[in-house]
Amino acid sequence: MPFSIPSSERIARLPWLIRILLGCCMASGAVALTSVIAPLRAFPLLLTFPTVILAAWFLGMWGAAGCAFMDVALVNTFLTRSQFQFSTGNVSQEVRLAIFVLITMLLGWSIRRLAQQKAELANHALKRQLESAEANRQIAEERAIASEQLRYRDDVLELALKASGMGLWAWDFEKEVVHRSDEVYRMVGCEPGAFGAEPEAWLQFVVPEDVPMLDEAFAKARNEGADYHAQYRVRWPDGSLHWLESEGKCQRNAEGNVARIYGVMADITHRKQSEEAMLRAEKLAVAGRLAASVAHEINNPLEAIANMLYLITISDSAEQARAQAANALDELMRISLVAQSTLKFHRESGAPRMALLSEVLDSVLTMFRGRIQTTNIAVDIKAKQELPITCMLSETQQVFANLIANAIESMPSGGRLIVRIQPSRDWRNRAVSGMRVTICDTGGGIDRVTQSRIFEPFFTTKTDTGTGLGLWVVAQLIERHDGAVSVWSSQRPEASGTAFSIFLPFGEELFGEGSIDRGKGVASIRPLSHPMEIFSSGSLH
């Protein structure tokens, strides 16, 4: 767009002498008009100020000055003569004329400033138009470049997805259709395009137990705009079972409503099978760790029973024999309790159930009582305002057994095992409430390098024993309960020890085999000043 100067500015740029002459011409015209029109002759200066204003606007200060002086000269000479009066008083005619000229000059200067400002605004607007046009041209060029780069990235993304075995999908909520890449169809054992784009078509492959979880995840994404994440099972047409993991992000329309969700999908069957195998292996390892404790716990009562039976055989007093028999019966009940706790620990739970965490911990501590007594460890367990939670009982017992066994092993020369149970909120999402269990020992502590890897599978600091799966299994089982676990440790001589804090939601329902992501980073390292800080909440001491 060509840049143009306003007409008033072009006139104002004429030589000053020409502008003075033009101003004088304008003054002459105004005086002539006043002399011709009879009503105006009664007010000879009526047209003077408008004429000066116009001269200042179009001709600048030189034109306004010429117009003002010419107006005064002509009016004073031809129209007013000696009768011309500006005000009452004795001021001479020359002084009054000078004041008039000064006022008109100030008025002309003000008008000229306004004209210049208007011209500057017009110039600024024109410059902005030029800049806008240039910016639009650059934007068009950048869009063309971006479009080319986008096509390149699409090609690269397609190759990357093929190499990784991942699929893309997009659910348009406004049209109620789901667009799927070819790889997504193959993840359910079908050829591309084997079924329709309606959302319900996908559910025919999902295991029925996982459908409610999937519906809930999509409903949350659609209603709240939350990120979507789910792991669930699908059954192929050949009957084989496969695990899929899917993640998605929502996109809103102009009204702010969720219009569609884009996502990726991957087959994680092999990963799930490996995880299940590691879980089974660690459960066997836990059983081995418990075997010594259970054997010790049973062997001591058996020795006591044998001694009591011997005393009964040599006793001459029936009363003493009955007393020894009663003691033997107590020891047998102790053995029975240990056996029941062991069976309960290894019995698979078919479904989640309500349980008090204090009772779960008591059953686990019963199996370790022999080792605790042998190593001279003092146990301090307290619960505050405890409420039952919904959990998989055997998995919860396995978590506590792993942590308590580690705590006992960290204190071979004795120490304190402190357990606290209290209501709490999930530190990842304060809206989720549940119970927190903190298990603290006064052992040697864990260094920071080990802490950073403590929840990794196959990581262990034990050279002769240990599978390196114990704490990894703890994190996995807690995650299956939508919970969280954190660790603190110190190796300072005056305050050494390790504390594990576990949060378990009340959980009116668990989601079976499928799961919704309730927060990243289930296992974490949280900074605390000292293990005892965890137990500093009033009545917990």
For position 152, what pLDDT does the model report? 77
Residue 321 · residue 315 · CB < 8 Å: yes
For residues 190-194, give the mean pLDDT.
Answer: 89
Between 494 and 176, name the one with better pLDDT.
Answer: 176
CA dihedral 32, 33, 38, 39 (to 10 degrees): -130
For residues 160-183, give the mean pLDDT.
Answer: 83
Confidence of residue 98 (pLDDT cuts 50, 70, 90): low
Encoding tokens for residue 133?
Answer: 């046009």
Give domain limits for the chain: 7-132, 165-267, 351-540
Q: Rounded distance, CA 470 to CA 473, Å?
A: 5
Q: Rounded distance, CA 467 to CA 456, Å?
A: 11
For residues 452-456, give the mean pLDDT.
Answer: 78
Q: Is the pTM of this model over 0.85?
A: no
Ranges assigned E (strand) in 107-240: 167-172, 177-180, 228-235
For position 467, what pLDDT does the model report? 57
Query: How do residues 293-334 score in pLDDT, each as one tens digit?
Result: 566 567 667 776 777 787 788 777 888 788 778 877 877 776
Residue 282 · residue 471 · CB < 8 Å: no
Confidence of residue 436 (pLDDT cuts 50, 70, 90): very high
Residue 383 · residue 465 · CB < 8 Å: no
For residues 502-515, give the mean pLDDT.
Answer: 64
Percentage of the chain exceeding pLDDT 90 = 13
For residues 219-237, give the mean pLDDT.
Answer: 89
Task: Report which DSSP code applies to 348.
Answer: P
Strand order in the sheet with 415-425: 377-383, 415-425, 433-441, 495-505, 484-492, 523-525
Query: How do residues 398-426 score in pLDDT, each as one tens digit?
Result: 889 889 988 998 898 899 999 999 999 88
CATH 3.30.420.130 fits 165-267, yes or no: no
For position 48, what pLDDT does the model report? 74
Looking at every residue in the chain, the average pLDDT score rounds to: 77
Query: How do residues 328-371 score in pLDDT, each as one tens digit?
Result: 787 777 677 666 656 655 555 557 888 899 998 988 888 788 78
Q: Which of 395, 442, 426, 413 is nearest to 504 (CA)?
A: 426
85, pLDDT greater than 70: no
For position 521, what pLDDT does the model report? 44
Query: How do residues 469-499 score in pLDDT, each as one tens digit?
Result: 678 778 888 888 889 999 988 888 888 899 9
131, pLDDT greater than 90: no
For residues 38-57, give the mean pLDDT.
Answer: 75
Q: Which CATH class is domain 351-540?
A: alpha beta
Output the DSSP codes for 64-89: HHHHHHHHHHHIIIIIIGGG--SSSS
- Under 8 Å CB-to-CB from 392, ≥6 apart: which residues? 349, 352, 477, 480, 481, 510
What region, left, alpha or beta, does residue 170 occupy, with left being phi > 0 and alpha being psi -120 to 50 degrees? beta
CA dihedral 524, 525, 529, 532 (to 10 degrees): 60
- Under 8 Å CB-to-CB from 41, ≥6 apart: which residues? 34, 35, 79
Task: Report which DSSP code applies to 416.
Answer: E
Between 422 and 77, name the one with better pLDDT.
Answer: 422
224, pLDDT greater than 90: no
